Amino acid sequence: MGSRLETDFLIVGAGIAGLRAAIELAGAGRVLVVTKEQLGESNTNYAQGGIAVALGGEEDVELHLDDTTRAGDGLVNKTAAAILVEEGPLRVEELLEWGTRFDREHGELMLTREGAHSRSRILHANGDATGAEIGRSLLQHARSIPNITLAEWRTCEELITDGDTVIGLVLVTRDGERQTVSARAVLLASGGAGQVYSDTTNPAVATGDGIAMAWRAGSEIADMEFYQFHPTALSLPGVPRFLLSEALRGEGAWLRNSRQERFMERYHLLLELAPRDIVARAITREGIGASPGDTLPVYLDMRQVTGLNLNQRFPGISSFLREHGLELGRDLIPVRPAAHYLMGGVKTDVHGRTSLKRLYAAGEVACTGVHGANRLASNSLLEGLVFGARAAAEMREETSFSARMEALPEHTLPEYTPVRRTSTTSPQPSPHTPPVADLAASIQHTMWVKAGLLRDRQGLEGAAEDLRDIAAAIPRTNTRPAIELCSLHAVATLIVRSALAREESRGAHYRNDFPQRDDVTFQKHSVVSGDGRVQFVEE
Ligand code: SIN
């Protein structure tokens, strides 16, 4: 039996949503923030381009709402999107007060533009390290508040429920000790799941643990078929899919195919600044070679950009490229899409409430429907701030009458049952089970090939079959790699089931066998319930 902790508010994840929520909650009780690695290691830290915000008054806010809605391809939850753009400026003002240093020119905040934005409204920091700067300032602020405890190297294993109420969770420390934490309310702010695909811009920690835990506990999960693939990750053999920010195209970069033609005019009027899903599919199509499996290179070209010091404007990107012998203003940079951001997640209302009592979610792990089928560039950091603060306000409100801490009896430390609800059979690992890393790689490969940018029934059914086979081999241990493997398996299962059910193409979800958007049947959100059934529901 491991140790037992108690807190008022438990937050899983120390990215932008988790830290913003912690700051909001600190006046109402003890806040424990747990994170899987060292503080700072989250998707937030790797966000390059910036944070979109309408600082120019009412008309600007309206335009931001229009752009967000249009990019989301008919599926944006309008209430959530209105909240995002209206509350965004206030949340960004707070960041400035707490010491976030956005880039300025002659004292004025600098603004850039990215895909599908009708004007320049994206703040950036240190050129191309916006998330890291916001994370730094939020962390510094959170550290100055005595009620907040930040705990590193904790892998969350399972939520603990009492009926349909979440009363805490089980986590595993770096030393392998299992701990139970009881709390008056739990916030999932655990970020995305890019590691479910072999090609991703996300760090290794992005394994979808929050979504998997919530699903296993019976929470509804929504819109999982909508995985955003960033169009331009670096494509060099043996080199990670390093993000090449959309801001490069915002500052004038072009895309060229293997014949060095600028091709985006064949796909969208906005050319390189078309919505992300359209650019990503265009690059994929231009990269298809003559025979099956053949790929052709596609390039980002900044050689024509003048009047901008590229090394100064994009210091992080320039220095990474230089390590690989490439210069932004001199060379064609080989690119390809990579999994970047999950629009779906734990279904919440605009207050972060999930379908389980006392369980909340905010940021990438959550699905308010704010991004619809395709997120507008640089809206994700804003989402974390706005909905992190809102979820925290709701947690404070809803728990203010229930100050009594639920005692967790000894026997509630649950048995570890990792693949519960991800398979219809009860898997029995064979004595020749492959290593966890190989199983994770199989999931990633299957998802990339069969449930990636371009999908069809045959491929998705093949992926479902692969996932059933892999489920049978998942070990019943609770090491961090094994827990993450279960998370990847659950997330992959949710994506495949939802993608099979949506027989149309919309936003980031493209079905070769159903290439049209079908508003009559599918202008709805997919919801997977605890038992694994997929339903489509109106907003
Ligand atoms: C980028 O810099 O292109 C990423 C920003 C985002 O994902 O919105």
The DSSP secondary structure of 201-223, one letter per residue, reads SS-TT-S-HHHHHHHHTT--EE-
Q: Report pLDDT for 429.
A: 53
Q: Residue 239 — pLDDT band, cuts 50, 70, 90?
A: very high
The answer as to whether 210 is a domain residue is no
- Dihedral of alpha carbons 357, 359, 363, 366, sign: negative
434: its two tokens = 């492959």
Average pLDDT, the chain: 93
- Looking at the structure, do residues 244 and 259 belong to the same domain, yes or no? yes
* Ligand 1 mutation pick, 272, 380, 382, max ligand atoms within 8 A of CB: 380
The answer as to whether 533 is a domain residue is no
Phi and psi angles of residue 525, each rounded to the nearest 5 degrees, phi first: -95, 140
Q: Are 97 and 18 in contact, with CB atoms under 8 Å apart?
A: no
Q: Are 399 and 8 in contact, with CB atoms under 8 Å apart?
A: yes
Residue range 505-519, pLDDT digits in tens: 999 999 999 999 999
Rg, the chain, Cα only = 22
Q: Are 295 and 287 in contact, with CB atoms under 8 Å apart?
A: yes
Q: How far is the CA of 185 from the centre of ligand 1 (A)?
A: 31
* Ligand 1 mutation pick, 42, 245, 364, 374, max ligand atoms within 8 A of CB: 245
Q: Report pLDDT for 402.
A: 58
- Domain of 438 in residue numbering reads as 423-513
- Looking at the structure, do residues 239 and 332 belong to the same domain, yes or no? yes
The answer as to whether 100 is a domain residue is yes
Ligand 1 pocket member 43 (CB < 6 A): no
Nearest-angstrom CA–CA distance, 373 and 343: 7
Give me the count of residues in the chain: 539
For the cut 80, the answer to whether the pLDDT of residue 437 exceeds it is: yes
Alpha carbon 36 to chain centroid, angstroms: 16
Q: Residue 43 — pLDDT band, cuts 50, 70, 90?
A: confident
Q: Residue 57: in which H helix or E strand, if any?
A: none
Q: How far is the CA of 7 from the centre of ligand 1 (A)?
A: 35
Nearest-angstrom CA–CA distance, 217 and 110: 44
Q: Are 85 and 55 in contact, with CB atoms under 8 Å apart?
A: no
Q: Which atom of ligand 1 is nearest to the CA of 244?
A: 3
The set of catalytic residues is 276
Q: Nearest-CA neighbor of 242 among 320, 330, 295? A: 320
Terminal Cα distance for the chain, rounded: 44
For 350, residues 6+ apart whose C-beta sits below 8 A from its C-beta are: 77, 79, 80, 83, 368, 387, 390
Nearest-angstrom CA–CA distance, 228 and 37: 25
What is residue 289's DSSP assignment? Answer: -
Q: Report pLDDT for 405.
A: 54
- Looking at the structure, do residues 390 and 497 belong to the same domain, yes or no? no
Ligand 1 pocket member 287 (CB < 6 A): no
Ligand 1 pocket member 378 (CB < 6 A): yes
Q: How far is the CA of 5 from the centre of ligand 1 (A)?
A: 37
Q: Residue 423 — pLDDT band, cuts 50, 70, 90?
A: very low
Ligand 1 pocket member 273 (CB < 6 A): no
Task: Tell which of 339, 356, 375 closes a domain.
Answer: 339
CA dihedral of 18, 22, 28, 30, whole degrees rounded to 10: 100
- Looking at the structure, do residues 19 and 129 belong to the same domain, yes or no? yes
The answer as to whether 278 is a domain residue is yes
Alpha carbon 369 to chain centroid, angstroms: 13
Q: Report pLDDT for 413.
A: 47
Alpha-carbon distance values, 327 to 247, 331, 332, 438, 497 (Å): 16, 6, 8, 35, 42
* Ligand 1 mutation pick, 114, 317, 341, 381, max ligand atoms within 8 A of CB: 114
Ligand 1 pocket member 49 (CB < 6 A): yes
Q: Residue 5: in which H helix or E strand, if any?
A: strand 4-12
- Looking at the structure, do residues 335 and 347 belong to the same domain, yes or no? no
Q: Which atom of ligand 1 is nearest to the CA of 380?
A: 8
Strands 4-12 and 122-123: unpaired
Nearest-angstrom CA–CA distance, 138 and 206: 20
Ligand 1 pocket member 380 (CB < 6 A): yes
The answer as to whether 531 is a domain residue is no
* Percentage above 90 pLDDT, the chain: 88
Report helix, strand or coil for 20. Answer: helix
Ligand 1 pocket member 48 (CB < 6 A): yes
pTM of the model as a whole = 0.94
Residue range 64-87, pLDDT digits in tens: 999 999 999 999 999 999 999 999
- Looking at the structure, do residues 40 and 124 belong to the same domain, yes or no? yes
Nearest-angstrom CA–CA distance, 135 and 102: 12
Nearest-angstrom CA–CA distance, 104 and 109: 4
Q: How far is the CA of 361 from the centre of ligand 1 (A)?
A: 22
Nearest-angstrom CA–CA distance, 82 and 19: 23
For the cut 80, the answer to whether the pLDDT of residue 427 exceeds it is: no
Nearest-angstrom CA–CA distance, 485 and 472: 12
Q: Are 116 and 71 in contact, with CB atoms under 8 Å apart?
A: yes
Average pLDDT, integer, range 239-268? 96
* Ligand 1 mutation pick, 16, 48, 371, max ligand atoms within 8 A of CB: 48
Task: Tell which of 318, 339, 360 closes a domain.
Answer: 339
For the cut 70, the answer to whether the pLDDT of residue 407 exceeds it is: no
Phi and psi angles of residue 20, each rounded to the nearest 5 degrees, phi first: -65, -40
Q: Which atom of ligand 1 is nearest to the CA of 130?
A: 2
CB atoms < 10 A from the CB of 258, how many? 13
Of all protein residues, the one whose alpha carbon is nearest to atom 6 of ligand 1 is: 378
CB atoms < 10 A from the CB of 525, how many? 22
- Looking at the structure, do residues 480 and 458 belong to the same domain, yes or no? yes
Nearest-angstrom CA–CA distance, 299 and 261: 10
Our separate counts of H helices and E strands in the chain read 15, 22
For 389, residues 6+ apart whose C-beta sits below 8 A from its C-beta are: 20, 21, 24, 87, 91
The answer as to whether 246 is a domain residue is yes
Q: Which atom of ligand 1 is nearest to the CA of 341?
A: 7
- Looking at the structure, do residues 261 and 139 belong to the same domain, yes or no? no
- Looking at the structure, do residues 436 and 306 belong to the same domain, yes or no? no
Q: Report pLDDT for 1.
A: 56
Strands 165-173 and 178-188: antiparallel
For the cut 60, the answer to whether the pLDDT of residue 293 exceeds it is: yes
Of all protein residues, the one whose alpha carbon is nearest to atom 8 of ligand 1 is: 378
Q: Nearest-CA neighbor of 388 among 9, 16, 8, 47? A: 16
The answer as to whether 120 is a domain residue is yes
For the cut 60, the answer to whether the pLDDT of residue 475 exceeds it is: yes
Instruction: Specify the CATH number for the domain of residue 359.
Output: 3.50.50.60
Ligand 1 pocket member 244 (CB < 6 A): no
Q: How far is the CA of 115 from the centre of ligand 1 (A)?
A: 9
Ligand 1 pocket member 228 (CB < 6 A): no
- Looking at the structure, do residues 333 and 352 belong to the same domain, yes or no? no
Instruction: Specify the CATH number for the domain of residue 266.
Output: 3.90.700.10
- Looking at the structure, do residues 328 and 360 belong to the same domain, yes or no? no
For the cut 60, the answer to whether the pLDDT of residue 240 exceeds it is: yes
Q: Which atom of ligand 1 is nearest to the CA of 128?
A: 2
Q: How far is the CA of 342 from the centre of ligand 1 (A)?
A: 13
For the cut 60, the answer to whether the pLDDT of residue 416 exceeds it is: no
Q: How far is the CA of 6 from the centre of ligand 1 (A)?
A: 37
Q: How far is the CA of 404 from the centre of ligand 1 (A)?
A: 43
The answer as to whether 528 is a domain residue is no
* Ligand 1 mutation pick, 51, 128, 230, max ligand atoms within 8 A of CB: 230
- Looking at the structure, do residues 270 and 373 belong to the same domain, yes or no? no
Bridge partners of 295?
A: 288
Q: Report pLDDT for 433.
A: 77
Task: Specify the number of domains making up the chain.
Answer: 3
Nearest-angstrom CA–CA distance, 18 and 44: 10
Q: Report pLDDT for 358.
A: 97
Q: Report pLDDT for 512.
A: 97
Q: Are 532 and 421 in contact, with CB atoms under 8 Å apart?
A: yes
For the cut 50, the answer to whether the pLDDT of residue 426 exceeds it is: no
Residue range 165-176, pLDDT digits in tens: 999 999 999 999
For the cut 60, the answer to whether the pLDDT of residue 422 exceeds it is: no
Q: How far is the CA of 220 from the centre of ligand 1 (A)?
A: 28
CA neighbours closer than 13 Å in the CB half-sphere of residue 89? 14
Q: How far is the CA of 500 from the centre of ligand 1 (A)?
A: 28
